[in-house]
């Protein structure tokens, strides 16, 4: 099947499932959809999927989005636009509402880890030039396809470029949280999207974690695998305004991905249950500590989560 036709056909079904609903929809339960990327054992690519959260008493359903190796998908808060790295070093965006490919930015070489803005207008990506040069954060304006530099990232050691990842957009769209990893060393930076500044993110609980997520309002951070919990079996919830630990959520297996609900009340996480190629998906009411299994353990590995309206 041709890749673009697969996109159109599968997204037509997804669009029909786009009305938000949730367990106990009238009593303040979770609503919306959870997008995730799953990777099969021995499969170098990833295949984005979506979990449609059903009404009260229903069973969540995993729905495929498209049949192609789409690396590092990213979804805006409204769930109206999906961006991903397509084969051939292309940044592609698709709209679930009308089931069409919105834009392709061809030959985006050495770019990776796209992260769409909360309003769906821009995509931030890491540009990693070869030969150990400094990585860059670049922004693509989706309506025009124009690309510009947002910031140059530091190297931990001369000539060695860390693996960088755009973790989140801060509210307002004027700054990004970018994580760096080199061997066993971690670092975090705040990048101003106007290109004016790249500064260290001085927050010690995030110093040695590669799994974190910001709430949409930028107030709460969920972190797994910090120096306080080297096993990755606790999710810490921090208030970034007060710089205080709000909650500790114990989990049974290491966490591979995190995502906040749009209202900031619920947290979705993927955990590897019987090894790195077997994952399950859970939703937890953060303050109440009540957890719901959304998908049972299955033979895939989850590397990305996004919760949309």
Dihedral sign, Cα of residue 107, residue 111, residue 113, residue 118: negative
- pLDDT for 174: 94
Determine the 3-state secondary structure of 193 from DSSP. coil
As a whole number of angstroms, the distance between CA 101 and CA 117 comes to 18
The confidence score (pLDDT) of residue 90 equals: 65
pLDDT score for 39: 74
Residue 45 to residues 24, 75, 178, 217, 283, Cα–Cα distance (Å): 36, 18, 23, 32, 26
> Cβ contacts of residue 263 below 8 Å, gap of 6+?
none
pLDDT score at 87: 60
pLDDT recorded at residue 233: 75
- C-alpha distances out from residue 164 to 47, 112, 136, 161, Å: 22, 9, 9, 9
Q: Is the Cβ–Cβ distance between 69 and 87 less than 8 Å?
A: yes
Domain boundaries of the chain, sorted by first residue: 118-202
> For residue 65, is it left (φ>0), alpha (ψ between -120 and 50) or beta?
alpha
Specify the pLDDT at position 298: 82
Q: 193, 174 in Cβ contact below 8 A?
A: yes
Predicted local distance difference test score (pLDDT) of residue 195: 93
Which pLDDT belongs to residue 5? 30
Q: Which two tokens stand for residue 104?
A: 């392709």
- How confident is the prediction along the chain (309 residues), in pLDDT tens digits per residue? 333 332 322 232 233 333 333 333 445 678 888 888 777 766 655 666 777 777 656 777 777 665 445 566 677 776 667 777 666 556 767 665 555 555 555 545 556 667 888 888 888 988 877 666 788 898 988 878 788 899 999 887 776 777 888 889 998 899 999 988 777 677 789 999 999 999 988 776 654 666 889 998 999 999 886 555 556 578 889 898 888 888 888 887 888 889 999 899 999 999 877 666 788 899 999 988 888 888 888 887 887 888 888
Beta bridge partners of 222: 213, 237
pLDDT value for 45: 59
């Amino acid at each position: 099947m041709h890749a673009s036709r697969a996109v159109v056909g599968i997204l037509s079904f997804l669009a029909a499932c786009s009305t938000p609903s949730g367990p106990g929809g009238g009593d303040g339960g979770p609503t919306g959809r959870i997008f995730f990327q799953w990777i099969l054992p021995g499969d170098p690519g990833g295949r984005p999927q979506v979990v449609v959260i059903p009404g009260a008493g229903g069973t969540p359903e995993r729905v495929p989005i498209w049949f192609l190796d789409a690396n590092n998908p990213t979804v805006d808060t409204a769930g109206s636009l999906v961006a991903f790295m397509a084969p051939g070093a292309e940044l592609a965006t698709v709209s679930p509402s009308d089931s069409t490919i919105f834009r392709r930015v061809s030959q985006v070489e050495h770019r990776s880890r796209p992260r769409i803005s909360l309003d769906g207008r821009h995509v931030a990506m890491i540009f990693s030039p070869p030969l150990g040069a400094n990585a860059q954060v670049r922004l693509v304006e989706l309506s025009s396809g124009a690309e510009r530099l947002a910031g140059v990232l530091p190297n931990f050691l001369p000539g060695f470029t860390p693996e960088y990842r755009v973790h989140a957009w801060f509210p307002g769209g004027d700054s990004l949280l970018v994580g760096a990893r080199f061997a066993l060393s971690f670092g975090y930076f705040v990048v101003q999207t106007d290109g004016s500044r790249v500064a260290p993110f001085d927050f010690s609980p995030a110093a040695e974690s590669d799994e974190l997520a910001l709430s949409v309002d930028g107030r709460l951070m969920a972190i797994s695998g910090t120096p306080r919990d080297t096993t990755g079996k606790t999710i810490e919830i921090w208030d970034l305004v007060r710089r205080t630990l709000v909650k500790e959520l114990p989990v049974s297996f290491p966490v591979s991905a995190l995502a906040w609900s749009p209202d900031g009340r619920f947290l979705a996480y993927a955990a590897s249950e019987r090894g790195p190629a077997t994952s399950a998906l859970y939703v937890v009411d953060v303050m109440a500590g009540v957890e719901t299994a959304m998908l049972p353990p299955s033979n895939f590995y989850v590397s990305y989560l996004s919760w949309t309206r």
